[in-house]
Amino acid sequence: MKSIFKISLVLLTILSFVNCNKSRSNQSRLTGLTFNDPKNGNYIRNSSFKGQKPPLGMVGVEGGSFTMGQVQDDVMFDWNTTPKKIHVRSFFMDEAEVTNSEYFLYVQYTKDVFSPSEEKYKHIYTSVLPDTLVWRKSLGNTDILTDNYFRHPAYADYPVVGVSWLQANEYCKWRTNAVNLKTLIDKGHIKNIFEMDSVSNAFDTDAFLTDNTKSFQGDSTIYKRGVGRTPRKKGQPRPSRDAFQGRPITKADGILTQGFRLPTEAEWEFAAKANIENREYNNIRGRKKYAWNGKYSRSKNKRTRGDQLANFKQGKGNYSGLPGWSSDGSDIPNKIKSYPPNGFGLYDMSGNVAEWVSDVYRPIIDNEANDFNYYRGNIFTKKMIDEEGNVVFAATDDAPEIEYDTLANGKIVPKQLPGTIKYVPITKTDASLRRNFARADNANIGDGDLNSSRFYEDDEDQFKSRPSMYNSPKAPTRVFDSITGKEILQNDAKKRTTLISDRTRVYKGGSWSDREYWLDPAQRRYLPEYMATNYIGFRCVSDKVGPMGTGKRTARNPSR
């Protein structure tokens, strides 16, 4: 009996100590108020955050400083890759490119939610389809790839191509919403809408956090429970089991994932170079020409000696080598993870397919520009608010019309998906007396063109008539043919000097159809954001919150 009494006393002491520590950890250090407590205002504090796990299919890339634009060869001599020292923050990156099967999931989901059989949705589905005609050649027998590469199961794990920058950007948004929707279902906050009769319930993360009554076409029965417990006054009846309990989920709860997006050019190049393989203490030894360590594109491994370490065009008419000895394994994009990963665990950062990054292209990256997480292309916006002070949503019951836009190549795309929040550029009033930004669209800020010069909007005609530095073709206009009566696209007929514009985007890395020169991660090329090719794919990144690394420092790379 004495032993039982002693054990019980020890357990009670430990339990009271744990409860005491728990209450203290849930208490404001400066005011004494308790968080998540209905008796103290139910103020939010998520103290359970224990670090961010890599999202599915991603690996962590610890940030740091590196020399961007440092190439081994510069045969063009165009100053397109002037070296500059910058710092990149930590982030998560897809270990391989987005594949045909993963993008096909997006296509199928879009078809279910926005059925093309409905007149108002007919352009939404077609706007996400890859351009399979990119495989066609005027003097080539390639129709089998046009018909099969995207949908046939033989190519399910091959990187998706024929996707424009605009489409890749929309996929990233959808992936954010799809992951957060799955998280809310798994945690029991909402019903499994995939088990319902129809999946035609669009989910948008921003809309859900702003006003959850706007999601799922206003069907509130889909919500099962919120966060915490709802305080119940004395005498109030107990709510039914199906009634929504708790408070609505907010960003402060840390339940939803950080958004997915295209990597910036600096992030992509930093991840591809993986200079951790060349690091000793806080110094970099040597210069990397490829995503892997070494000066050559062929393997030194005893079993694979002589094989190419990436998928690229080795010479005119030589896409893979001789029959029976394919040195790189493929004459078109190869299955992901077919080649060894780099120092960060990322596959195909040199070769296979080139990849879209988010930056607007300019020939020179200014050394005096931001050296902290550099990115060109920011458009600062704010939520649109109506006259009654409410956030405006796209294509609601009050205004069901979906707004579409016609791209320069004639394709019709939605400006915004139904149920998403409308955003508008910030105004001069919003940026008044600020030192960190002064306008909404920063695509061409400080790049030397007319709009960025001190003579912009000058009253003297000599400055107004000065031609723009980036005199790219303008989008074609739609006109009616007087003879046929049909609507046709009329192209820009004026003399133009370049393809560079504020809608031209960077793509990085060599591809299956590129020569070895382009395998250098620092090399950069560009295309208009609405164009697609058979050699450009993409992968996503997600921001890392909290500490930039593990907090542990190693003297040198453990593999040495």
User: What is the DSSP annotation of 4-22?
Assistant: HHHHHHHHHHHHHHHHHHH
Q: How far apart are the first and last CA of the chain?
A: 61
User: Could you give the angle at the alpha carbon of 65 between the alpha carbons of 525 and 555, nearest 5°?
Assistant: 130
User: What is the DSSP annotation of 254-321?
Assistant: --SPPPEEPPPHHHHHHHHH-GGGGEETTEE-S--SSSSSSS-SB---TTTTT-BSS----BTTBSSE
What is the C-alpha separation between 270 and 87, in angstroms, rounded? 9
Burial (Cβ within 10 Å: 0-12, 13-18, ≥19) of residue 272: buried
pLDDT in tens, 290-310: 999 888 898 888 888 888 999
Quick check: 369 pLDDT over 80? Answer: no
Count the Cβ atoms, other than its own, within 10 Å of residue 104: 15
532 in Cβ contact with 131 (< 8 Å): yes
pLDDT of residue 156: 97
What is the C-alpha separation between 340 and 342, in angstroms, rounded? 7
pLDDT of residue 367: 56
| DSSP-derived secondary structure letter, 517 | G
User: What is the DSSP annotation of 199-220?
Assistant: ------HHHHHH-GGGGGGG-G
134 in Cβ contact with 162 (< 8 Å): yes
* Alpha-carbon 512 to chain mean position: 23
CA-based nearest residue to 198, from 101, 111, 103, 104: 111
What domains are defined for the chain?
A: 1-43 (no CATH), 57-159+265-377+506-549 (3.90.1580.10)
pLDDT of residue 1: 64
Q: Which residues contact 395 (CB under 8 A, 6 or more apart)?
A: 120, 401, 402, 403, 416, 417, 418, 419
Q: What is the mean pLDDT of the chain?
A: 85
CA-based nearest residue to 415, from 402, 428, 401: 402
pLDDT in tens, 17-54: 545 444 556 788 888 888 877 777 777 776 666 778 89
| DSSP-derived secondary structure letter, 247 | B
Count the Cβ atoms, other than its own, within 10 Å of residue 512: 24
Q: Tokens for 282?
A: 């806080």
What is the C-alpha separation between 256 and 250, in angstroms, rounded? 9
Specify the DSSP element, H or E, that contains 515. none
pLDDT of residue 137: 93
392 in Cβ contact with 421 (< 8 Å): yes
**Scanning the structure block, which residue is given the tokens 């159809």?**
513
What is the C-alpha separation between 173 and 392, in angstroms, rounded? 19
In SS3 terms, 58-79 reads as: EEEECCEEEEECCCCCCCCCCC
| pLDDT band (50, 70, 90) for residue 430 | very high
pLDDT of residue 24: 54
> Beta strands 84-88 and 91-94: pairing type?
unpaired
| pLDDT band (50, 70, 90) for residue 482 | confident
Provide, for the chain, the percentages of residues in helix, strand and coil under a 3-state DSSP scheme, each rounded to the nearest 5.
25, 15, 60
pLDDT of residue 167: 98
Quick check: 461 pLDDT over 50? Answer: no
What is the C-alpha separation between 361 and 77, in angstroms, rounded? 18
Poorest-confidence range of 221-235, 274-288, 383-397, 501-515? 221-235
pLDDT of residue 70: 85
> Pick the residue with more confidence: 200 or 513?
513
What is the C-alpha separation between 179 and 172, in angstroms, rounded? 11
Poorest-confidence range of 3-12, 68-77, 274-283, 314-323? 3-12
Backbone angles phi, psi at 144, to 5 degrees: -65, -35
pLDDT in tens, 383-412: 999 999 999 999 876 667 899 998 888 889
261 in Cβ contact with 92 (< 8 Å): no
Quick check: 464 pLDDT over 80? Answer: no
Quick check: 459 pLDDT over 70? Answer: no
350 in Cβ contact with 343 (< 8 Å): no
pLDDT in tens, 167-220: 999 999 999 999 999 999 999 888 888 887 655 667 899 999 998 777 777 777
pLDDT of residue 460: 45
Q: Tokens for 157?
A: 């794990």
Backbone angles phi, psi at 101, to 5 degrees: -65, -40
Model pTM score: 0.89
Burial (Cβ within 10 Å: 0-12, 13-18, ≥19) of residue 435: exposed
